[in-house]
Amino acid sequence: MAVATATDSSSPMQTLADFGKSKSLRTLLRVLILCFIAGAAVSSRLFSVIRFESIIHEFDPWFNFRATKYLIANGFYDFWDWFDDRTWHPLGRVTGGTLYPGLMVTSETFASCWPPAFSGLTAFAAYLLTNEMTTNTSAGLLAAAFMGITPGYISRSVAGSYDNEAIAIFLLVFTFYLWIRALKLGSVLWGALCALFYGYMVASWGGYAFITCLVPLHAFVLICMGRYSTRLYVSYTTWYALGTLASMQIPFVGFLPVRTSEHMPALGIFGFLQLVAFIYYIRSSLSGAQFKAFLFVGLGAVFGLALLALVAMTSAGYIAPWSGRFYSLWDTGYAKIHIPIIASVSEHQPTAWPAFFFDLNLLIWLFPAGVYLCFQDLKDEHVFVVVYALFGSYFAGVMVRLMLTLTPIVCVAAAMAASQLLSTFLSVKSPVAKDPEQEDATDVSSKKIKQNAGSLRSTNSPYVGVYSFMSKGLVSGIMTIYLLLFVLHCTWVTSNAYSSPSVVLASRMPDGSQHIIDDYREAYQWLRQNTKEDAKIMSWWDYGYQIGGMADRPTLVDNNTWNNTHIATVGKAMSSSEEVSYPIMRQHEVDYVLVVFGGLLGYSGDDINKFLWMVRIAEGIWPDEVSERKFFTPRGEYRVDGEATETMKNSLMYKMSYYNYHTLFPPGQAQDRVRGVRLPDTGPVLNTLDEAFTSENWIIRIYKVKDLDNVGRDHAAAASFDRGHKKKKAIKKRGPRTLRVD
């Protein structure tokens, strides 16, 4: 299959570039190279297994794993109607209707879904896409190689990262390939194929909206450039009609394609295309002057009416306005103020500049060159690259996470630039001026050089300038070194930065050997073995999926952040005093509370460092009861030591984190190694919770929620009585008596 397609798509250039060499040999070589690329792509994703062990990484994969287990155990229809009563206690989650089932169904169908395997397919898809863009044979192979090992994509598809993105990026690239193919051929068949894979993409990842917006945008730009064609009409309408129907089959998407603003561009362009087609038809049967008048009046009226209808329906509530997540794409400060829950995720932060270089290395500077090359020969598909490049870059700059959608186009464009460079400079033959055969053999750039011949002196005599062995050797040598450095960089980044499972931490012992810190799994195992099957665990939502997956216990909130109020409730319980938190925990039937504390080990991703987000999210719902300001000292510092504010010291989170912590140290020496501060000698007092478990390095601390006091006292009084203190005289000598009312 792979062989056939490869031959197919590259056949046009075969005829151009084939000089005496056997076609079958080239095909064989190409297949071999692609196989090697796939091999390299897969093996570079196995660092995590070698470094740690075969374990599921991060957070979301734990849910995917659980969902897949459910699917395999109960079959597809039960999965489709799955009501999950072990998360979001006591609300439950209509999981079957609120997930993207693509990954689970894929892995059920193929017995196992192994994300690295999909990276091989992604590389192949990048190869196909690039071949649509250029006639240069090597560009596709380079793109495949880039796609295979670039860290920007590896970050989400290492072994153990059982996540939607693993298959979604393959589908993204492949859908774009099919779209370009359909557009080029104006074929209903390819358009339908494109819609099919678009449907698969919708089933797999929420990022499908990227396709939903990019394809119409491409079509719109083409129309604006005066490039309307029946090919465009056929491919777009086929894709839109079938793709939308396909996407509506996913319960989570449902009627969103006709009801939300994110999907409106696709619908709008669909209508616009009908108009344009109609106008083209009218133009063919009307005279020029009549047509002009018709165009202005008719088009203006229709456009105005459509816009009015959109505004009216949006304000009437039929069409949902842009969601907060989308606003945060335009205004990076928006989320922090209005939707802290989105801003609190590290993946949703704006990208730092070094991250581009870190994830893409040399591709990031080859990328603009590739985009520039597209302008050289601006066909419809090159417009796509330009549009994609512009949008992808913008979004990648706004959100770290969207680096993933930028990566494919960077690989394609960079491969075009690199192959252009290499094929220009690796060619031993020098062109003979005015030789038509040579002109064919060499590439676009040589034409360019000739076109620019008058401008630069050095290019006037090509034999001394560009075509000398010296310059060829130098440029190709440097390029080779760059490519080798790129491979080194990718390998290093993959093995060091993107292969840690985050459930297991690694540290170095003084003698250089690796020490594994396994507190998370220790704690989850404890929960699994020591608590009731239906013991409800309250923790911050980051750990919800892991508790569900590893400890198999119901949680209050998890990484599927569908209910902001419920998360805010947990935030309120964590950030309020015990007296306020206890009734909340009772109401939600919480049995255990789990906190992550890094103070002993210096693990900075702990709950005290995330605490302000909990406060902010809770404040969003209960501004009267929780106030972020109260967690800062009058001088505006966020402190946890003796100078911490009373609100901070009384908050449940603070108490749970530092409970009994001072006993580990000699008096006066208690230290928090994350915040780097010395703690007071007397630790916090907990009345409503009992410490149940603390992991080896104190990273995870689990507390049991006490029952109501058996004889009706409040917990503080009961605890003080248990410690042997006598109750103070309850009846006051002065003041009015409190009388019993029956």
- Please say which residue, 90 or 642, places its beta carbon nearer to another protein: 90
Write the interaction track for another protein spanning residues 308-347; mark x where CB under 8 A is met and - where it is not: ----------------------------------------
Residue 732: CB minimum distance to another protein, A = 11
- Please say which residue, 26 or 586, places its beta carbon nearer to another protein: 586
Three-class HEC string of 512-539 = CCEEEECHHHHHHHHHHHHCCCCCEEEC
The reply on whether position 81 binds another protein by CB under 8 A is yes
- Please say which residue, 547 or 699, places its beta carbon nearer to another protein: 547
* Member of 31, 72, 94, 535 binding another protein (CB under 8 A): 94
Residue 733: CB minimum distance to another protein, A = 7
**Positive/negative CA dihedral, 94, 95, 99, 102:** negative
The dihedral region occupied by 87, where left means phi > 0, alpha psi between -120 and 50, and beta the remainder, is beta
Is 726 exposed, middle or buried, given 0-12, 13-18 or 19+ CB atoms closer than 10 A?
exposed
The reply on whether position 186 binds another protein by CB under 8 A is no
- Please say which residue, 612 or 717, places its beta carbon nearer to another protein: 717
Q: What residue type is assigned to position 421 of the chain?
A: L
Residue 656 in contact with residue 703, Cβ under 8 Å? Answer: yes
Residue 739: CB minimum distance to another protein, A = 6
Residue 695: CB minimum distance to another protein, A = 29
Residue 717: CB minimum distance to another protein, A = 8
Residue 237: CB minimum distance to another protein, A = 15
Residue 327: CB minimum distance to another protein, A = 30
- Please say which residue, 97 or 683, places its beta carbon nearer to another protein: 97
Q: Which residues contact 557 (CB under 8 A, 6 or more apart)?
A: 88, 540, 541, 544, 563, 566, 567, 570
**255 phi and psi angles, rounded to 5 deg:** -95, 10
- Please say which residue, 432 or 711, places its beta carbon nearer to another protein: 711
Give the whole-angstrom CA distance, residue 709 versus residue 715.
7
Residue 207 tokens read as 């990022």
* Member of 14, 31, 72, 85 binding another protein (CB under 8 A): 85
Q: Which of residues 231-290 bind another protein (CB under 8 A)?
A: 251
- Please say which residue, 673 or 725, places its beta carbon nearer to another protein: 725
Q: Tell me which long-range contacts 635-640 makes (C-beta under 8 A, separation of at least 24).
A: 638/612, 639/675, 639/677, 640/608, 640/672, 640/675, 640/677, 640/679
The reply on whether position 77 binds another protein by CB under 8 A is yes
The reply on whether position 358 binds another protein by CB under 8 A is no
Residue 80: CB minimum distance to another protein, A = 6
The reply on whether position 66 binds another protein by CB under 8 A is no
The reply on whether position 588 binds another protein by CB under 8 A is yes
Write the interaction track for another protein spanning residues 715-734; mark x where CB under 8 A is met and - where it is not: --x---xx-x-xx--xx-x-
Residue 722: CB minimum distance to another protein, A = 7
Kindly compute the dihedral angle of the four CA atoms of residues 72, 75, 78, 84, in this order, to the nearest 10 degrees.
0
Residue 587: CB minimum distance to another protein, A = 6
Is 14 exposed, middle or buried, given 0-12, 13-18 or 19+ CB atoms closer than 10 A?
middle
In order of 118, 388, 461, 723, the CA distances from 546 in angstroms are: 24, 35, 67, 37
Residue 725: CB minimum distance to another protein, A = 10
- Please say which residue, 92 or 300, places its beta carbon nearer to another protein: 92
* Member of 70, 80, 228, 638 binding another protein (CB under 8 A): 80
Residue 90: CB minimum distance to another protein, A = 4
Q: Which stretch binds another protein (CB under 8 A): 75-83, 365-373, 664-672, 679-687?
A: 75-83
Q: Which of these, 448, 422, 450, lies nearest to 435 by C-alpha position?
A: 450
Give the whole-angstrom CA distance, residue 222 versus residue 245.
25
* Member of 2, 49, 91, 299 binding another protein (CB under 8 A): 91
Which residues on neighbouring strands pair with residue 592, listed in sequence order? 537, 704
Q: Which stretch binds another protein (CB under 8 A): 25-33, 179-187, 684-692, 707-715?
A: 707-715
- Please say which residue, 434 or 727, places its beta carbon nearer to another protein: 727
* Member of 12, 39, 75, 92 binding another protein (CB under 8 A): 92
Residue 17 in contact with residue 26, Cβ under 8 Å? Answer: no
The reply on whether position 668 binds another protein by CB under 8 A is no
The reply on whether position 587 binds another protein by CB under 8 A is yes
The reply on whether position 660 binds another protein by CB under 8 A is no
Q: Tell me which long-range contacts 401-404 makes (C-beta under 8 A, separation of at least 24).
A: 401/347, 401/348, 403/152, 403/155, 403/351, 403/355, 403/356, 403/359, 404/152, 404/153, 404/155, 404/156, 404/165, 404/169, 404/207
The reply on whether position 714 binds another protein by CB under 8 A is no
Residue 486 tokens read as 């790129």
Size of the site for another protein (CB under 8 A): 37
Residue 104 in contact with residue 200, Cβ under 8 Å? Answer: no
| Cis peptide bond upstream of 90, omega within 30 | yes
The reply on whether position 709 binds another protein by CB under 8 A is yes
Give the whole-angstrom CA distance, residue 234 versus residue 216.
13
Q: Which of residues 531-560 bind another protein (CB under 8 A)?
A: 534
In order of 80, 402, 462, 464, 465, the CA distances from 457 in angstroms are: 69, 44, 10, 11, 9
The reply on whether position 713 binds another protein by CB under 8 A is yes
Q: Which stretch binds another protein (CB under 8 A): 79-87, 293-301, 542-550, 674-682?
A: 79-87
Q: Which residues contact 419 (CB under 8 A, 6 or more apart)?
A: 134, 136, 138, 139, 142
Which residues on neighbouring strands pair with residue 672, listed in sequence order? 677
Is 734 exposed, middle or buried, given 0-12, 13-18 or 19+ CB atoms closer than 10 A?
exposed
Give the whole-angstrom CA distance, residue 187 versus residue 579.
68
Residue 580: CB minimum distance to another protein, A = 16
Packing angle between helix 23-44 and helix 115-133, nearest 10 degrees? 140
The reply on whether position 428 binds another protein by CB under 8 A is no
- Please say which residue, 263 or 588, places its beta carbon nearer to another protein: 588
- Please say which residue, 64 or 95, places its beta carbon nearer to another protein: 95
Which three-class secondary structure state does DSSP give residue 260?
Answer: strand
Give the whole-angstrom CA distance, residue 300 versus residue 305.
8
Residue 626: CB minimum distance to another protein, A = 19
Residue 535: CB minimum distance to another protein, A = 12
Under the rule (CB under 8 A), what is the footprint of another protein? Answer: 77, 80-81, 83, 85, 89-92, 94, 97, 251, 534, 587-588, 707-713, 717, 721-722, 724, 726-727, 730-731, 733, 737-742
